[in-house]
Structure 1
Amino acid sequence: MSISLRQIRYFVATAESGQVSQAAVNLSISQSAITTAVKELETIVGAVLFERTPHGMELTTAGRQLLSHAYDILQKVDDVASLHLVTSGVKGKLTLAATYTVIGYFLPLHMERLKRQFPDIDIQLFELNRESVEEGLLSNRYDLAVMLTSNILNPELQTEKLLSSQRRLWLPARHALLAMPSVGLKEVADQDYIMLTVDEASHTSLKYWSQTPYTPKVSLRTSSVEAVRSLVANGQGVAILSDMVHRPWSLEGRRIETVTLRDNIPSMDVGIAWRKQVDFSPAMEAVRTYFRRTFNIPH
């Protein structure tokens, strides 16, 4: 039996999320498909890749070695898949604005790919808050923006959603709410709550809280996702944040679990934005085409 790309992708997703359930959600497939692929891969390589614990999937020594090779394999596949985009005919300068969450948790990989695929496009990247991005697009200071399109308010801007990242409840390992069959904002309201403020996260949070009879018991407001991660992992409170910024371990190496809430929590939408009626330069068109093809957005 030969190794398939499907097995490699499912293995990487499980290693990165630390949970079969989370990997299945991230890939929009069933948990059984993940489990089967990992077992097949373990049979092929002749080694156990994960230690299965009550709190998730932890890589073994063999698993860590394979993960390094798996990243190389997927990188080569991406290179081959993007060959049709590489053209020396696209040249010029492009000013690209991005908000904090996007530049920290979404954009770096795509910037690296864009620079490889379009070496003659000089992409100048700027990190700004939403208001500054909107103003900059309208004044032609920036050509395009990659941002949380769910936050955009100005009707003079055109947007194109690339992905939706579900928001879930973050909990420390062995938290009492993990044992409950169903968790909603009613139960969350009884817990100390860590409120993220960057990229208008607190404003978005209060919008969906305000549609319920409950109020979060905020113990701390912070602009740092890493602070939220560490505080939750160390049992100082809970938080509701998107899958895009979730990592299963804090900087101290402590576990962070996620729970899907029964309430209707809006997703965090990431996309590109530009001024309506703007004439797209070849560089702008190349970058927009890259994102459309990467995320299977129809033209």
Structure 2
Amino acid sequence: MAKAPSDLTLNQVRYFVRVAELGSMTETAAEMFVAQSAISTAIAHLETTLGHKLFVRQRSRGVVLTEQGTTFYAAAQTILRSVDDAVHSLSPERLTGQLAAGCFTTLAPFWLPTIYEDLTSAHPALDVRLREVTGDQVEQLLLRRELEVALTYSFDYGRSIDFERLSEAPVYAAVGEGSHLAGRSTVSLEELADEPLILLNMGKSANYFLSIFQDAHLQPRVHERFESFEVVRSMVARGHGYTILNQRPAHDLTNDGGRIVRLPIDGVRSYLQIGVAHRADESLSRKGEVFIEACRSILG
């Protein structure tokens, strides 16, 4: 029989949430600087209080949530967020607790360090945890509540995700210095379609780049596909083809010392937005709001 809800403690809830996210009591204990026995005892007491098994212990996979554990995980996140907001209401100038935020992997090198510095400088007591994510991970991690917000592109994430636009990501073609197109001031999509394309192949990103040609009723010659932004740039710099990208590094050098030439594409507009994605069915915590404010200040 379940005990009275008053037997539940905040530490039990905090331990439970982190174990659910890490899938390991050992890792949770190390991260929170407590004995593993304290974690396992707290989880056992919590299960007794609730009258339900929250985890299944598996040797090869650590621990995984049961159906009841998954349900309670969502509620536990709300509990912890409400406590943080209640504490914040007494000292609105001082944010504490943990902010779990994501950043699309190709945006991360350009914006994530500055966002991190702005947040930690303005809110030194805030535990900022930033994570690189792909387009295919954004919706999943937000709905699993592993992230509250994510700086990303305006891909189709479904009705469960809201997207707040901050800026447009300009599109351009990149060729090597030795390309016959390198001396041009602009290039047409028709000309590019006849050249070998080195495609940045990151799920939703690949679909977006290919859609630029599809919208113009053109079929590109995809020569190679890579998931790394820098590998694509290096391949282009070495003359293996051209690529189409959105983010603009501060210089045109590649990691291996090559150089690319960036060209505007005649008559092509990106229409791809950069912004912050978050769950549509609930209001943001103050921590989520300050993340958006930091992103807006930097990108807006």
Matches within 5 A, 1:227-242: 227-242=231-246
Please tell me the residue identity of whatever aligns with 1:205: F
Paired with 2:228 and 2:140, the residues of 1 have a C-alpha distance of 25
Aligned mates of 2:217, 2:293 — CA distance in 1: 44
Deviation, structure 1 residue 99: 2.4
Instruction: Tell whether the 8 Å contact from 2:118 to 2:294 is kept in structure 1 after alignment.
Output: no
> Which SS does the other structure have where 1:124 is aligned?
strand
1:286 & 1:217 partners in 2: Cα distance? 43
Q: Does structure 2 retain, via aligned residues, the 8 Å contact 1:169–1:259? A: yes
Equivalent pair of 1:242/1:267 in contact (CA under 8 Å): no
**Cα distance in structure 2, aligned partners of 1:105 and 1:210:** 29
2:211 pairs with 1:211: no
- Compute the displacement of 1:115 (Å): 1.2
Aligned counterparts, 1:51-62, within 5 A? none
Cα gap change, 1:211 to 1:292, in 2 (>3 Å): closer
Q: Counterpart of 1:259? A: 263
Tell me whether 229-238 or 152-161 shows the greater mean CA deviation: 152-161
Q: What TM-score do the two structures reach when normalised by structure 1?
A: 0.63
- C-alpha distance in structure 2 between counterparts of 1:128 and 1:289, whole Å: 20
Q: Which runs of 5+ in 2 are unaligned?
A: 1-91
Whose Rg is larger? Answer: 2
The alpha carbon displacement at 1:200 in A equals: 2.4
- Report sequence identity in percent: 24
Q: What residue in structure 2 maps to residue 115 of structure 1?
A: 120
Taking the aligned partners of 2:298 and 2:193, their CA distance within structure 1 comes to: 39
For residues 93 and 182 of structure 1, the distance between their equivalents in structure 2, rounded to whole angstroms, comes to 46
- Report the Cα distance in structure 2 between the residues aligned to 1:182 and 1:143, rounded to whole angstroms: 41
Match for residue 156 of structure 1 among 147, 160, 164: 160
Query: In structure 2, what is the Cα distance between the partners aligned to 1:144 and 1:280?
Result: 9
* Superposition pairs of residues 72-221 of structure 1, within 5 angstroms: 89-148=94-153, 150-180=154-184, 182-198=186-202, 200-221=204-225
Gaps of 5+ in 1: 1-86
1:120 to 1:133, Cα distance in 2 relative to 1, 3 A: same
Partner Cα distance (1:212, 1:280) in 2: 39
Runs of 4+ in 1 over 6 A off after TM superposition: none
Are residues 131 and 162 of structure 1, via their aligned partners in 2, closer, same or farther at CA, if it must alter by over 3 Å? same
Count of residues in correspondence between the two structures? 209
Give per-residue Cα distances to partners, 1:46-98, cap 9 Å, x unaligned. Answer: xxxxxxxxxxxxxxxxxxxxxxxxxxxxxxxxxxxxxxxxx852222111122
C-alpha separation in 1, matches of 2:155 and 2:209 = 12
Give the deviation of 1:270 after TM superposition.
1.8
- 2:152–2:276 CA contact under 8 A, matched in 1: yes
Note if contact 2:135-2:202 (Cα within 8 Å) is conserved in structure 1.
no
Separation in 1, partners of 2:187, 2:248? 21
